[in-house]
Structure 1
Amino acid sequence: MAYTILRRPWRLRKPYLYLMIPELGLVVALLVLFGLSQPNTYRTTMWEIGFENGFNSNPKMTLYAYANHVPLPHIPFVWSQTITNFNVAISVLSLFILLAKLISLIMHIFFPVFGAIITTSMVALYVTSVYGQAGPDHADARYPSNVAWYIAKSCDYAKARNAVTDCLMAKGCFAVTILMLALYLVQLGIAIFSLMPNKAIDIEDDGSDSDDGFPPPASKQWEMKPRAMLSPRTPNTVMMSSNAYSGGISDSPFTPRTQAFHTLDRKLPLRS
């Protein structure tokens, strides 16, 4: 038995393929939602509403720093432009990864080790996105916040600013991101499960030329057998009598090449 980490088959290939259907739907939803949120559709509005209700820091703290000639404060990740650009980038990357996985699976070149590496990277990116969308805000010691208010609280606080739709969009982005992270975790589990040692898969087969790790078909196995192991009555050999001139019986093989030589010598084997 020999364990191979590269050319291993998927142990749950069909479920992995079926998971690409909801993955496509989630990717399209993220592309739309994150695209609408760029560059600053509702981020600053949610920040201002939170400050007005005492939930987080003041979004004008940067202006105060410029006016008072003091060092610029650190803007929380949840309210920064970085998280918005980051979300748009990973949504586009997710679409590219989905198409690449689908094509690679059809061509039988997407092995579990590649799936584990790629999916682990995507899980790390989406964990960062979840943290950024609902991250803490400790820029103002008077109003510390461990979770963004629009995640932990109702959108009723946004009615005074007519921003209920923006609040719901922010909640929707967070919810779809959570679903996408859960789907990638399931795919990562399938990839790790396929990489685990398995006696039925790890049997060493030096004669296997299959790209997806499965044994070759029966026809290919027949072609790979030595000539001595084949039956004497093969399609390329015609058992005929080499003693036909004298009426005797023999089991020596008679090939088309031998017949050609007999024809040249005017010694047809079936002519008495």
Structure 2
Amino acid sequence: MSEFGRENPQFYLTAPTACPYLPGKYERKVFTHLVGEKASALNDILTQGGFRRSQNIAYRPACEACKACVSVRVRVDEFQPSRTFRRIIKRNADLIGEELPPQPSADQYALFRDYLDMRHAEGGMAEMTVLDYAMMVEDTHVETRVIEYRRRGPDSGIRGRGRGPLIAVALTDVLSDGLSMVYSFFDPDMADRSLGTFMILDHIERARKAGLPYVYLGYWVKGSPKMGYKIRFAPQEHLTGTGWLRVEGEDDAQD
């Protein structure tokens, strides 16, 4: 990419494709590249404007006849875990997440494949190879962390790392105003732990400790069961045509 392209991002529009969330709908996306020295600053601005990151691409929906995708961020300082959330935190008190650089590993890919095969066998990521996974993790020009969750060991409080098999993983961007959860996956045989919910709760606590006001959860799609869980983390803000609007969640949405 030329120096002009690095300093002045160009935006592109995709062709219509079938919507993965709402049957009978078609989606289009506007996207740009996140490269160069200003990639982190650009990622901050775009995330605050409703974009998401995938590798070195920032994108957001640009559908002509549908506005169902709504950007969601949790208000960290005001968040108070519900009784359900407190049970999930207690259930996973034996886990600890270790922050690592964005580097893939064989353990991560094995868990990733198990997760896809059990939870998203028909999804768009189902055919991802080990090379595809490596690119998803390490192809980043912004501040990114991999958080690996394992069971606590006797020295976890000192070293900040667990022991034993890998149980869950989160790929997370560190922004100037929060944490953005890019992608997460977990052991599908541990459904009773509600690990997806636990990782969000853990990120809210991480953001709180870091003095960051938000955790960005990506898009909530009203009417899509697979996205319903995001509305549970309240209070939160939704991006509207006039800016971010505070809303309350629905704690009884599906896990």
TM-score range, shorter chain: under 0.3
Greater fraction of residues in strand: 2
Structure 1 length as normaliser, TM-score? 0.22
Structure with the larger helix share: 1
TM-score calculated relative to the size of structure 2 = 0.24
Return the structure number with greater relative CO, CA threshold 8 A, min gap 6.
1
